[in-house]
Each structure stands twice: as structure tokens, then as C-alpha cells.
Structure 1
């Protein structure tokens, strides 16, 4: 169950992060103030919806479901953590802590960002498989 849920959540994540993310969300989700938070929340909601669809597919097609309550907890976890990671300061702070200034200068932040998101999805899939 873990593997299939993780793959479906990852596909949903990719869809929400790339073809479903608007240019406005991508440009402004880390901005300070109301507009930045609004763009960030809209993008995080896209992730929640996409991952919700993935969990419904798992339930209907694969007959793998952790139940409504557990799925709601997992979706809350995914949406909240995605919003925090996409504020960009957590990734920048991690890269400073890990002493990766050259990696950051050469596009490494995008890789660290996606790795953080994958860790979040793995935790969600483990939780759903365990309950």
C-alpha cells in the first residue's frame, strides 16, 4: 500500500507543482504580505485537491484506502507543509545550515525544495499505510 500511495501522491505533486501551478502563483507564493500568502494558499490548495484525487484513485481503482479521517489528516499535512516549504525561506535556511552556497547559486534550491516535498509525501504515504 505504501508504494502505490507514494507513487500516486508523487504524480499528483508533480501535476500540482508544474502544469497546474499558474505563473502568478510561481512568481508570488513567497512574497511578503497578503498577495504572497494568497498565491501560496492557492498553490497549496491545488496540491490538496490533486492529492485528494490521487487518494480517491487509490481507493476506487486499487481498493487501497486508509479511510476518510486518515486521508484528511494526510491532506492537511501535505497542504500545510507544502505552503511552508514554498515560502522559500526554509530551503534557503537549510542550504545555509548545510553550507551549500555554491549549490544554491547554481540552481540547487529547486532540488532541495523538491526533496523536502518528497519527504513530506513519504511521511504521508507511510502514515496512510500504517493506519
Structure 2
């Protein structure tokens, strides 16, 4: 069940991060102040909704049994971690700690960002597969 859950959640993640993310969200989600937080939380809510839809599709089409409370916890985890990662400071701090300043200046931050999101999805899929 882990593989099915992960693939569904990863597909939802890609949809929410690319075709469903507005230019405003992409440009402002890490900004300081209320406008940045509004853009960030709207983007996180898109992830919550996209993953919820995909889990529902998985339940209907694949016959996956996904208990409601664990599903809600996984959705909150995904939206919450996505929100924090997209504030950009966690990625910047990781890259500084890992001595990746050169890679950060040449597009590496986007890769570290996506890796962090995928790891959060792995945790959610493991959790749902275990319950």
C-alpha cells in the first residue's frame, strides 16, 4: 500500500507545485509579512486539497482503505511541512550547513526544496501504510 499512496501523493504534489500554483503564490510565498503568509498558506491549502482528492481517488479506484483521522493527520503534515519548506529559510539554512553555497547559487536550492517535500511525502505514506 505504501507505493500506491506515495505515487498518488507525489502526483498530487507535482500538480499543486506546478500547474495549480499561481504566479502570485510562487513569487510571494516566502515574502515577509501578511501577504507572504497569505500566499504561502493558499499554496499549502492547494497541496492539502490536491492530496485529499488523490487519496479519495485511490480509495475509489484502487480500493485503498484509508481511515479518516490518519488521512487528516497526513494531510495536515503535508500542508504544514510544505508551508515551512516553502518559506525558503529551511532550505537556505540546510545548504549553508551542508556547505553548498556554490550549488545554491547555481539552482541547487530548487532540488533541495523538492527533496525535502518528497521526504515529507514518504513520511506521510509510511504513516498511512502503517495504520
Place the TM-score, normalised by the shorter chain, in its bin.
over 0.9
Query: CA deviation digits over 1:39-83, x for unaligned, max 9?
Result: 000000000000000110111111112210010000000000000
Alpha-carbon distance in structure 1 between the residues aligned to 2:65 and 2:71 = 8
In the TM superposition, 1:15-94 aligns within 5 A as 15-94=15-94
Query: CA deviation digits over 1:11-47, x for unaligned, max 9?
Result: 0000000000000000000000000000000000000
* Stretches of structure 1 lacking an aligned partner (at least 5 in a row): none
Calculate the TM-score normalised by the size of structure 2: 0.99
The CA RMSD over aligned residues, in Å, is 0.4
In the TM superposition, 1:90-129 aligns within 5 A as 90-129=90-129
Alpha-carbon distance in structure 2 between the residues aligned to 1:42 and 1:119 = 21
Please state whether the residue corresponding to 2:25 is helix, strand or coil: helix
Alpha-carbon distance in structure 2 between the residues aligned to 1:26 and 1:73 = 25
Calculate the TM-score normalised by the size of structure 1: 0.99
Report how many aligned residue pairs link the two structures. 131
Alpha-carbon distance in structure 1 between the residues aligned to 2:118 and 2:22 = 21
* Stretches of structure 2 lacking an aligned partner (at least 5 in a row): none
